[in-house]
A = this chain, B = another copy of it.
Amino acid sequence: MPELILDISMSLDGFVAGPNPSLEDPLGQGGMRLHEWIIATKAWREAHGQEGGEEGVDSDLAAELVGQASATIMGRRMFSGGVGPWEDDPNADAWWGDDPPFHHPVFVLTHHERELLPLKGGTTFTFVTDGIESALEQAQAAAGDGDIRLAGGADVVRQYLRAGLVDRLQLHVAPVLFGQGTRLFEGNEGTLELAGVGESPSGVVHLDYRRR
């Protein structure tokens, strides 16, 4: 059975985005600091057609994460690119261009029916209006032997966490305190099983938890 994996970067005080997201700062003020560790890696740069980058723990993990999933679940605002004039438009275009980086089926949670959107490179967007369990079932059917990546945003992630549907949580804790922003865990309860810990010279701690 494909596993539902949440792989996400968080500040030490629990935020996955900084305050006041905007067109200029889609991750909120200072939000990019959460992702500096992966953007600096050789594996991430290679996957995005760039040269150079750092090798080591972070890059090995980035290589593992790239191509880990055979299907993706995301919220409607993540589909259309978060903050912007299109934010509340249920028929907004895909923010990801016409050759998105997924190369597999993507299931978009929305309240509005919309036709299947096949794009270049094997990415198809399926719009799911009947809830998170339905999206998961469709993703499981599509993923085959692969796993499913829960891409976000934070509200969709929290819904899956709250329902106990996330099988694996790969949490990258950056050594920063944001003070405010968007929290990953808000009203989530439960017990997790620690499956692994990685420490990197970048100062990020990679925590790997399993559903218990």
Contact = CB atoms under 8 A, between A and B. Distances in A.
A192 B12 contact: yes
Nearest to A203: B194
A190 B205 contact: no
Interface in A157-212: 161, 171, 173, 175-180, 184-185, 187-194, 196-197, 199, 203-205, 207, 209
Contacts of A185: 12-14, 177, 179
B205 A191 contact: no
A175 B199 contact: no
B13 A209 contact: no
Given A13-B14, A175-B192, A192-B176, A197 B205 contact: yes
Nearest to A190: B177
Contacts of A203: 192-194
Contact of A188 (B13, B175, B207): B13
Question: Within the oligomer, what is the number of copies of this chain?
Answer: 2
A188 B188 CA distance: 22
Nearest to A11: B185
A209 B174 CA distance: 11
Contacts of A194: 175, 199, 203-205
Interface of A: 12-14, 161, 171, 173, 175-180, 184-185, 187-194, 196-197, 199, 203-205, 207, 209
The 5 closest A-B pairs by CB, nearest first: A13-B185, A179-B189, A197-B199, A194-B203, A175-B192
21 contacts: A12-B171, A12-B185, A12-B192, A13-B184, A13-B188, A14-B185, A175-B193, A175-B194, A175-B209, A176-B190, A176-B191, A176-B192, A177-B185, A177-B189, A177-B190, A177-B191, A177-B192, A179-B187, A179-B189, A194-B204, A205-B207
